[in-house]
Structures are given as structure tokens and as C-alpha cells.
Amino acid sequence: MQRFDIAIVGGGIVGLSAALAIAQKTKLQIAVIEPQPVAKFTEQPKLRVSAINAASQRLFARLDVWETMLEQRLQAYQQMHVWDKDGPGQLTFADQGNDQSLGWIIENDVIRQALTQQVEAQPQIEIIPQPLSNIAVGDSEVFLSFAAQPPVLARLVIAADGGNSWVRRQLKLPMTFRDYDHHALVATVKVASHHENTAWQVFLDSGPLALLPLYDPSLCSIVWSAPPERVANLKSMSDAEFEKEITCATDGKLGMINLVSERLSFPLKMQLVENFVQQKVVLIGDAAHTIHPLAGQGVNLGLQDVLALADTLEDAFANGDAEQVFSHADKVSVLNKKLGEFSRFRKAEAMEMVVAMEAIKQGFSLQQKVPKLLRGLGMRALNNLPLLKQQLVKKAMGK
């Protein structure tokens, strides 16, 4: 039976980043449990992309994976243009500081490939490509079993297995839940005009529609959030009907839009676990919190969990090896205290983002004419307040 100091359940962006960050800061032996292999690189861009902010880019650079991503494909964006479809409001964000980019749009598989390559080169990290069948939390260790291989023991488990976290469900961990009553439709489109290295977002009566710039100036990834019946209608349209619909929805700002991929959709929900640390299990990323994608901050919030957890473990193991910290009562108490502080800090940060996304969503859901007018005037006023606008840019960039 294999024993590890830490077992990370989930080999997505957040889980692999956590493995690398913790390995850089400690000598702990780490297992990454992920049954899904990394998808092969294809010429056609994948539908699932992430908007990576400056803070996350710095983390990737520190983990020695950023250069690999640059060698594959990504797209920086220097501006974000937001407008109200049926009102006078519009906003244009651009960073006026030292950085030239607000962020980068990167396919999730490109990020995961770069992280996996780096993880495989680390002797203290082992990838277990098997699905878990059972988890049992004991007094000193966590028992993890598989259907097709011997079980393993870990002194600490990190759940990074996404919004439908298997670990969270197995342990029946309490959380706050809200169905946004929205689905997100994702697809890749070709635009007649250059995307101008800009992230475009229009707020419609039914919800926000984002066009995110890809590596090809004529390609954008779309995320269209709307009630389930509206998304079902959009998916049932012919390609020609859909192209007319999205061109009209975006006011032709990027010219005629053509669909170049399939259309996929998934439900949107807010989730926030009661405690990020439960006994010997730590939850990070979407396993701990999911938010509305309208600001593209979900994965960045998860990567901030990674940074905080790696710093917490570095501090906890600074004056003792794994055997001492995990076995001696006084050091176990210190570790638990530090993990408790991590839990409270990251939950507060996640709660702040949940509230912010809810406020934006509700503000753009108002259908009455007077609130619409006030909303539009507010957007125009904000657009003319450079100092306040720059503070919002810095917050989005993770500065």
C-alpha cells in the first residue's frame, strides 16, 4: 500500500497547479489522482477556455509552465469593452499601469497540457490515473481506494475535483447553493472584423454574452448566459439562424459572425462550502466555490486558493519534516490552526466575489425602464472616472 503526505483529487488546472506549487515550497510526497487523460492538441480550438489574469500568469511563470503555454497558443487582451444592449451605458477598461495586458484567453487543455508536462518531471509527485471508489477519513490518515489498483493512504487530501466534486459529495460536506437559473452556451465563432485584442461583453435582457479573443484575430470564443429555455432555443437554431441572432445581439460590432464549432451548454450555479477545511480534507477551486462566469474570475479565484494553500503549508512545515508535523500533537495543532486560518481567509475572498457577481447580475437583470436608464447613466459616469475605473481593472487583474 502506497503512502503519501498529500493526495490531490483532481488533475485539472487548479489541482495540477496545487501539486506544483506545494512541491516547490515543501518536500512533501504528493499524489495527483486524475482518471481523465490530457486531451491531444488539435488545430481546432477547444470550446472550454479561461480568462487568466495577471496574478494567475505570475503563478504560472513561477511554476515554469508559462513559456510552454506561449509556445502553444493563447491570446492577450489589452481592453475590455462592455455595453448595455438596450440602454446608453458602455464601459471600456484598459490597464494604464506597467502591464500591457488585462489578461489572456487560453484553452483549458493548453493550460492542462503544460501543467501535466511539468508535474511528470517532478520526482516528488506521482499521477494516479484511476477513478476513486471510496474515501474514509481516519484519525491520522485518509484511506483512498480504487477499483483497479491497491488503495493508498494520505495524511492530507486536497479536493480539487470541480464543481460536482466527488470528494465533497462522498463526505456530505455542507454548502450554500443557489441555482442561477441560467445555462451557459459555449462555441467558437469567426468574426468579420479583427477582435482587436479586446474582450467584448454585451448585457442582454436575458443575460450576458461574451466574445473572448482567440489566437487567430478572426476567432472568438463565446459564452452566452441565459435562462435554460433561451439556451435550448439557441442550440436548436440552424447555423444561419444562430449567426444572425448573435450578430444582432452584438450590434454588429465585430461584423457578421459565423459559427465554426458545435454548440455546447451547461448549467450555472453558485456554490460555497461552509468550511474549506474539514478534518483532513481541504477543498479548493470549484470544489469549494463556483460563481457566475460573467467576469471570468472562476479559475483565477481557484488559483488564488492554490497560492494561499502553498504558502500555508510552507509555513507549517518550515520547522519540521512531514513525520513531525503530521504526528506530534503540538505540531498537528499548529498545522490545524494554520489550515483554519487558510479556510477563513479564502472563504472571505470567495464570498466577496460571490456578492460582487450577484450584484452585477442583478443590476443587469432589471427590466424596468427607469432602472435601465439609471444603470446606463451609471455606466457612462463610471466610464468617465479614470481613477475609479483603474481600481476596478487592478482588482480584476489580481493586483
The C-alpha atoms of residue 333 and residue 338 are separated, in whole angstroms, by 9
**Coil, helix or strand for 2?**
strand
pLDDT of residue 49: 94
Non-local (6+) Cβ contacts of 307 within 8 A are: 21, 59
Burial class (CB in 10 A: 0-12, 13-18, 19+), 130: middle
Of 97, 106, 10, 100, whose CA–CA distance to 56 is shortest?
106
Residue 10 CA: distances (Å) to CA of 122, 129, 130, 157, 159: 17, 10, 11, 11, 7
> What would the pLDDT profile of 179-238 be if each residue is shown by its tens digit?
888 999 999 999 998 999 999 999 888 888 999 999 999 999 999 999 999 999 999 999
Mean per-residue pLDDT, 339-363: 83
pLDDT of residue 382: 43
Partners of 24 in the β-ladder: none
2-36+104-177+270-361 has which CATH code?
A: 3.50.50.60
Mean per-residue pLDDT, 60-67: 97
The C-alpha atoms of residue 235 and residue 151 are separated, in whole angstroms, by 43
Q: Is the pLDDT of residue 375 over 70?
A: no
The C-alpha atoms of residue 339 and residue 325 are separated, in whole angstroms, by 13
Cβ atoms of 49 and 296 closer than 8 Å: no
Cβ atoms of 10 and 132 closer than 8 Å: no
Q: Where are the beta strands (DSSP E) in the chain?
A: 2-9, 30-33, 49-53, 75-77, 79-84, 90-94, 103-107, 125-128, 132-137, 142-146, 152-159, 175-191, 198-204, 207-213, 219-226, 257-259, 264-273, 277-278, 281-283, 289-290
pLDDT of residue 307: 97
Confidence tier at 325 by pLDDT (50, 70, 90): confident
> What would the pLDDT profile of 251-274 be if each residue is shown by its tens digit?
999 999 999 999 999 999 999 999
The full set of domain ranges for the chain reads 2-36+104-177+270-361
Q: What percent of the chain has pLDDT over 90?
A: 66
pLDDT of residue 99: 55
| Range name among 16-20, 78-82, 224-228, 243-247 with the lowest pLDDT average | 78-82
Written as one letter, the residue type at 39 is: A
Mean per-residue pLDDT, 278-282: 93
> What would the pLDDT profile of 8-35 be if each residue is shown by its tens digit?
999 999 999 999 999 999 999 999 999 9
> What would the pLDDT profile of 122-181 be if each residue is shown by its tens digit?
999 999 999 999 999 998 899 999 988 999 999 999 999 999 999 999 999 999 988 888
